[in-house]
Each structure stands twice: as C-alpha cells, then as structure tokens.
Amino acid sequence: MLTETKYPRRTASPLDSFLSIQEEMDRLVNSYFSGAGEVETAKTVWAPPVDIYEDDNNFYLKAELPGMDQKDIQISLENNMISIKGERKDEKDMKGHYYKMERLSGSFARKFNLPAHVDSEKISAAYKNGVLEIKLPKSEEKKPKLIAVKTD
C-alpha cells in the first residue's frame, strides 16, 4: 500500500491566535484607508489532493493539478519513495482589476512510500485535463497467481 510521508507540524500557541487577530485588524484598517485596497492573493504552500488505488496489475496515484503546465511538475523516485513537486504560478498578467484571488498558487511537494512489490523500471506518468496520473506496475513475482485445482 502506498503511504504518504508526513512532515512534523508545529503546534499552535496562544500567541498565534493573537498574531492572527492583529494581522486581520491591520488588513481591515489598511483596506479602509487605501480606498479599493490591494488584491488579496492566496499564495502559500499547498498540497494538491491525491487519490491512491490499485487493481490486479498496478497501483495508481492521481493528483489534481489544475492550471499547471506539464513542465512545472517534477516526479522522482529515490529510496523506495516517489516524490511529486511543482509550482503553480500566479496569473498576474491577466487583464482587469482583481479584488480577490482565492485559487492557491505557490510550491508544493508530496512524498509517498512505495510498496516493496512495485516494478520501478516500468513506472509511467501522464498529465491530462489538470490531473496527473502515475501508474506503478506491480512486480510479476508479487502478483497473485491462480492455481487450478485438478480432478482425478
């Protein structure tokens, strides 16, 4: 089974809540005094949603990467881990005046441990309609084999 490698997360402190409230107050005051205000953008580190499933012959990993160019996606295999990295760029070159941009942009990285019975020489990837699909073929020796029962 494919499993994701988790990164340690910092625990929240009471100071974090206060700083968040202070940042929101600053934003409100600044937007009030600056007229129309600046465009709010959602540029951050993000993690695309991923589905992992299998059939008799393969494991599959599908990641939603809408609005990305194929050249901005990197897939690597090292130490029995598959990594997906990339960056979705801002669309600041678009015409018009924006007041809010909620679609996330920025860098991402996801890592998954491979099962021991994946044939790493036959891994393939395809990107179509904003969905990255990585096909991870199972090794021949690890596929279930049916054994016929003979009658006398």
Backbone dihedral angles phi then psi of residue 32, each to the nearest 5 degrees: -65, -45
Number of domains composing the chain:
1
Asked whether residue 6 is domain-assigned, the answer is no
Query: The tokens of 92 are what?
Result: 């600041």
Query: The tokens of 33 are what?
Result: 């005094």
Burial of 126 (0-12, 13-18, 19+ CB in 10 A): exposed
Asked whether residue 21 is domain-assigned, the answer is no
Asked whether residue 19 is domain-assigned, the answer is no
Asked whether residue 119 is domain-assigned, the answer is yes
Per the model's pLDDT, the better-predicted residue between 4 and 104 turns out to be 104
Q: What is the DSSP string of 87-119?
A: EEPP-TTSSS--SEEEEEEEEEEEEEEPPTTB-
Asked whether residue 91 is domain-assigned, the answer is yes
What is the CATH classification number for the domain harbouring 53? 2.60.40.790
Per the model's pLDDT, the better-predicted residue between 80 and 2 turns out to be 80
Asked whether residue 137 is domain-assigned, the answer is yes
Question: pTM of this prediction?
Answer: 0.63
Asked whether residue 115 is domain-assigned, the answer is yes
Strand runs labelled E in 55-94: 58-64, 73-78, 81-88
pLDDT in tens, 37-96: 444 544 456 789 999 999 989 999 999 999 889 999 999 998 889 999 998 877 666 677
Asked whether residue 129 is domain-assigned, the answer is yes
pLDDT in tens, 114-136: 888 899 899 999 999 999 999 99
| One-letter amino acid for residue 7 of the chain | Y
Rounded (5°) CA angle 81-84-89: 165
Residue ranges making up the domain that contains 78? 41-141
